[in-house]
Structure 1
Amino acid sequence: MADRTLLLGGARSGKSMAAERLLADVPDVLYVATGGDDSGDAEWAERVAKHQARRPATWGLAETIELVPLLESAGPPLLIDCLTLWLSRTMDAVGVWSDLSRTDLVEQRITALADAWSATPRRVVAVSNDVGSGIVPADPGTRMFRDLMGRLNTTISLASDQVLWTVAGRTLPLT
């Protein structure tokens, strides 16, 4: 059985570094970046460069939101960073931001991801933001994102062998 770990926490809480530490002794990890390149955004480019500089040179890289085929195939451990960006880009891909009635398409992709996560033959570590602890967003699109993020985190959490909460660089197990 594969080891499936979900790391949750707020923005800039140390989730990615904690995920990297979990796999630091593995030479052939496939780092799955879900954020896209956001060409022309200097701040985003700086964040990506910091992540790249921390990773071992032996780790591979896949930049994609197509997680199901990776989870369904055999191979080295996966470090997915992050599910929050996966959800945002998935919502982009199906046009939810302009038509909130299309959320059923996102729900289908969440279900497919959870099924693949549950059955993966690989060791996998995923990072995700907890966005539900703040204020209720004022607009319907942002509320929809928050609600879908909560569903995604809950679904993946319940299918995980281990769930960790990261705050201020410290990681605590959730039971």
Structure 2
Amino acid sequence: MNIDLPGTASTSGWPAPGCPCASCGRLRTGGVRYEPFRVRIDGVALHDCVQDEIPGGLDVRGPNGGRLLIADPDGRPEPRTVYDAVLLDLIGCPDHLGRLRDLGAVRSHTEIRAIHLDHRIRSPQELERRLAYWLAPREGPHRTLLLGGTRSGKSAEAELRLMACPDVTYLATSAPRTDAEWADRVEAHRRRRPSWWKTIETIALPEALRSAQGAVLVDGIGTWLAAAVDEANAWDDPYSIRPRLEELIDAWRTTPARVIAVSDEVGLSLVPTTSSGRAFRDLLGHLNQGLAAESEEAALVVAGRVMELP
């Protein structure tokens, strides 16, 4: 099936006429423009192909018999078959690709293209960065450590990298808490995640990593460390749990899964005023270094921007 896309942008194009946002301004300054979406299938315009409306898009049969799925902007297309190609709104809904893979409608031979491009993303370079994760998800073993300060966007970046995977296990590492503010935080994270992801709440993280399969998101290392100190009743001497840290680093080194872990970068916070707080900071810094040393990828997230670490 030959897919030709003379235009890949939203109906207003990208940059949108008269739009003052940074995304459109950046493209306008660089003399770059993406034309509104148009497609030719095996040399034939879309309106001359057999097509059926489905929830969230179009199911199209090409002149040579191939099947194409075209998503509406922000659409959640309901697949009818295994497709030779899918054109999706990956800026707005990258999780739809994961869902189509989970349903078996997108397989290894399926061509995947991003359409409805616009200023919902800050630049074509950022789109290419994301597509590198979505179009060909890595198989395990592969480890990524994402570091950042509070509200830096590190958890959102971790989730974003796995959105197009068909099978993701979310390891929530915090010990049970009952306060309303914490419950709100947990619920906000849960709403961001695709409904088909499996969530496991556990502080037995080394054991979970050793038996993990597929794609795994660990959120996060700092909450696991706090729970481990609590479990050992070791706040008077947090350094006593160092063997648990080495156990986790070993499990991270030997896991068969593709794992992304989120952790706090301790160098961005205030110096703790208590000895136990300083010990916790030191332990987390040691743990971050150990995990980073055993990671194929590591990155620092600041204000939602990602800096890859060599």
Q: Which amino acid aligns with 1:115?
A: D
Give, in whole Å, the separation in 2 of the partners of 1:120 and 1:107. Answer: 20
Specify the SS of the correspondent of 2:188.
helix
Provide the residue aligned with 1:122 in structure 2: 257
Q: Say whether residues 1:67 and 2:202 are aligned partners.
A: no
Q: Deviations over 1:47-83 (max 9, x none)?
A: 1111000111110011011111211114221100000
Q: Contact conserved, 1:5 with 1:162, CA < 8 A, in 2?
A: yes
* Deviation of the 1:163 alpha carbon: 0.3
Q: Which amino acid aligns with 1:103?
A: Y
Q: Deviations over 1:69-101 (max 9, x none)?
A: 21111422110000000000101111111x21x
TM-score (norm. length: structure 1): 0.93
Give, in whole Å, the separation in 1 of the partners of 2:212 and 2:262. Answer: 21
* Deviation of the 1:129 alpha carbon: 0.4
Q: Say whether residues 1:21 and 2:157 are aligned partners.
A: no
Q: Deviations over 1:96-146 (max 9, x none)?
A: 11x21x523x21011010001001100000000012334432210000001
Q: Say whether residues 1:108 and 2:243 are aligned partners.
A: yes
Q: Which amino acid aligns with 1:83?
A: I
TM-score (norm. length: structure 2): 0.54
Give, in whole Å, the separation in 2 of the partners of 1:28 and 1:153. Answer: 26
Provide the residue aligned with 1:47 in structure 2: 185
Give, in whole Å, the separation in 2 of the partners of 1:148 and 1:18. Answer: 24
Match of residue 194, structure 2, among 45, 56, 73 = 56
Q: Contact conserved, 2:300 with 2:308, CA < 8 A, in 1?
A: yes
Percent identity of the aligned residues? 45
* Deviation of the 1:27 alpha carbon: 2.0
Q: Mapping of 1:63-102 within 5 angstroms? A: 63-97=201-235, 99-100=236-237
Give, in whole Å, the separation in 1 of the partners of 2:267 and 2:234. Answer: 19
Q: Which amino acid aligns with 1:128?
A: S
Question: Aligned in 2, Cα 1:43/1:76: closer, same or farther, shift over 3 Å?
Answer: same
**Structure having the higher Rg:** 2
Q: Contact conserved, 2:149 with 2:268, CA < 8 A, in 1?
A: no
Q: Say whether residues 1:140 and 2:140 are aligned partners.
A: no
Aligned length: 171
Specify the SS of the correspondent of 2:151.
coil
Specify the SS of the correspondent of 2:164.
coil
Q: Contact conserved, 1:72 with 1:120, CA < 8 A, in 2?
A: yes
Q: Contact conserved, 1:37 with 1:45, CA < 8 A, in 2?
A: no
Give, in whole Å, the separation in 2 of the partners of 1:5 and 1:96. Answer: 29
Structure of higher RCO (CA pairs closer than 8 Å, 6+ residues apart)? 1
Give, in whole Å, the separation in 1 of the partners of 2:293 and 2:256. Answer: 17
* Deviation of the 1:25 alpha carbon: 0.6
Q: Contact conserved, 2:149 with 2:269, CA < 8 A, in 1?
A: no
**Normalized per residue, which structure has more helix?**
1
Give, in whole Å, the separation in 2 of the partners of 1:133 and 1:37. Answer: 26
